[in-house]
Amino acid sequence: MSKKAARVAVTGAAGQIGYALLFRIASGEMLGKDQPVILQLLEIPDEKAQKALQGVIMELQDCAFPLLEGIVAAGDPEVAFKDADYALLVGARPRGPGMERADLLAANAQIFTAQGKALNKVASRDVKVLVVGNPANTNAYIAMKSAPDLPRENFTAMLRLDHNRAASQIAEKTGGKVGEIKKLTVWGNHSPTMYADYRFASIGGKSVKDTINDQEWNANVFLPTVGKRGAAIIEARGLSSAASAANAAIDHMRDWALGSQGEWVTMGVPSNGEYGIPKDVIFGFPVVTENGKYKIVEGLDIDAFSQERLDKTLAELQGEQDGVKHLL
Ligand SMILES: NC(=O)c1ccc[n+]([C@@H]2O[C@H](COP(=O)([O-])OP(=O)(O)OC[C@H]3O[C@@H](n4cnc5c(N)ncnc54)[C@H](O)[C@@H]3O)[C@@H](O)[C@H]2O)c1
Ligand SMILES: O=C(O)C[C@H](O)C(=O)O
């Protein structure tokens, strides 16, 4: 017997990440090849955006995906989020050249207050929320705080793109295979202050730290390359990353829903106080996922260099939180 369809809400559905994301969700890459889905797509209630959304829907229909059991187009978050099992909050303004993601806070914060409230009102009580729209960690914090009746652990932010970027740089540096990297993580904010940490990682069974054995490269090449990759893509493409962002969103949700088979993945999740990060700060942590739940990997050694990086990214997140206090 086929499974009951999962309701997947995606905001900003007619945007560039939406276009790289929806077809993969509908083909079963996110929730599995045996899981039917109903897509509930939100765009701003503006004629042009809604028309573009209709065009995307026509293309989804023309793919005749066997797993796609329905499509809802909405201009109202309470329609898009009704009974949603998954919500991918992508819709927000992207940054342009010369901007930092935090510059988007004023423009985007209100979106996440409204969407948090709508999720609180109409979504499934188990809804799994991934915030992609920038600044992702603080937007996830806003949505979580605006949805007091939903479990706080259901709100997450996307650090997976940073994790994947770090993995790719490590594979290139060591000459190993990206698929053979284990125990990599990225701590903190999805911003240049993030701390991509390979101290515990292995590649092809060998320690990444010992193989690279170059702290100068770590501090002055690797971390800035991963931290500033988004800006480098904007500079090169004239637009922010889209296919790689959609890919990371699929990875994040797939692992959360279907499990990481004991492997570490990076998710931005509300802290419970782990590693001295104050409760509720949405922070990139190493997690292991199983049965639809994630668990932060605890007890890792934090050396002086790492502590300095954690302090810096935390201070930035706390500054962002202060900036949105008036909305909550
Ligand atoms: N966390 C990450 O790793 C990561 C990676 C890439 C991009 N991003 C962010 O994702 C966001 C979307 O990027 P994009 O390239 O798809 O942008 P885009 O401009 O191509 O698309 C955004 C879409 O969202 C829609 N939108 C805006 N406000 C909305 C609202 N309140 N409700 C519903 N839809 C709304 C817009 O109409 C537009 O169609 C940006 O904030 C970008 O910075 C995050
Ligand atoms: O950098 C951006 O503004 C987009 C995104 O967050 C990215 O990291 O590519």
Identify the band that residue 99 occupies on the pLDDT scale cut at 50, 70 and 90. Answer: confident
Q: Which residues contact 241 (CB under 8 A, 6 or more apart)?
A: 161, 229, 230, 233, 234
Whether 133 is covered by a domain: the verdict is: yes
| Dihedral of the alpha carbons of 83, 265, 222, 190, in degrees to the nearest 10 | 30
Decide if 190 is catalytic: yes
1 domain residue, yes or no = no
Verify that 206 and 285 share a domain, yes or no.
yes
| Residue 316 and residue 177 share a domain | yes
Same domain, 149 and 186: no
pLDDT at 94: 83
Q: What is the CA radius of gyration of the chain?
A: 19
DSSP state of 34: T
For the whole prediction, is pTM greater than 0.90? yes
**For ligand 1, is residue 282 a contact (CB within 6 Å)?**
no
- Per-residue model confidence as pLDDT tens digits over 14-64: 999 999 999 999 999 999 999 999 999 999 999 999 999 999 999 999 999
Of 89, 234, 266, the residue with max ligand 2 atoms within 8 A of its CB, to mutate for a pocket test, comes to 234
290 lies in some domain: yes
**The ligand 1 atom nearest the CA atom of 241:** 6
Q: Give yes or no: residues 201 and 120 share one domain.
A: no
Neighbours of 90 (CB within 10 A): 26
Tokens encoding 50? 């809604």
How high is the mean pLDDT of the chain?
97
**Half-sphere exposure of 123 toward its Cβ, with a 13 Å CA cutoff?**
33
Q: Are residues 238 and 197 in the same domain?
A: yes
Using the 3D structure, point to which of 139, 157, 175 is the last residue of a domain: 157
pLDDT digits (tens, 9 = 90+) for 257-310: 999 999 999 999 999 999 999 999 999 999 999 999 999 999 999 999 999 999
Domain ranges, residue 167: 159-325
Mean pLDDT of 86-111: 88
Map residue 8 onto helix, strand or coil. Answer: strand
Task: Determine, yes or no, domain membership for 83.
Answer: yes
Ligand 2 within 6 A of 108 CB? no
Within-domain flag for 73: yes
Residue 108 belongs to domain with CATH number: 3.40.50.720
pLDDT at residue 91 is higher than 70: yes
Last residue within a domain, chosen from 99, 123, 157: 157
120 lies in the same domain as 226: no
**Domain total in the chain:** 2
Q: Residues 13, 125: one domain?
A: yes
- Cα(94) to centroid(ligand 1), Å: 6
Q: How many A from CA of 268 to the centre of ligand 2?
A: 15
Q: How many residues does the chain have?
A: 328
CATH assignment at residue 177: 3.90.110.10
Query: Cα(34)–Cα(228) distance, rounded to whole angstroms?
Result: 38
What's the pLDDT score for residue 5? Answer: 98
pLDDT in tens, 168-197: 999 999 999 999 999 999 999 999 999 999
- The tokens of 203 are what? 């590649």
Q: Using 50, 70 and 90 to split pLDDT, how confident is the model at 1? A: low
Q: Specify the DSSP element, H or E, that contains 41.
A: strand 37-42
H/E run at residue 193: none
Ligand 1 binding pocket mutation candidate from 54, 79, 93, 159 (most atoms within 8 A of CB): 93
Question: What phi-psi label fits residue 143: left (phi over 0), alpha (psi between -120 and 50 degrees) or beta?
Answer: alpha
> Is 176 among the annotated ligand-binding positions?
no
Tell me how far the alpha carbon of residue 241 lies from the centroid of ligand 2, in angstroms: 6
Range in 88-97, 133-142, 263-272 with the lowest mean pLDDT: 88-97
Provide the pLDDT confidence category of residue 96 given band limits of 50, 70 and 90.
confident
Q: Looking at 157, 172, 193, which one is the last position of a domain?
A: 157
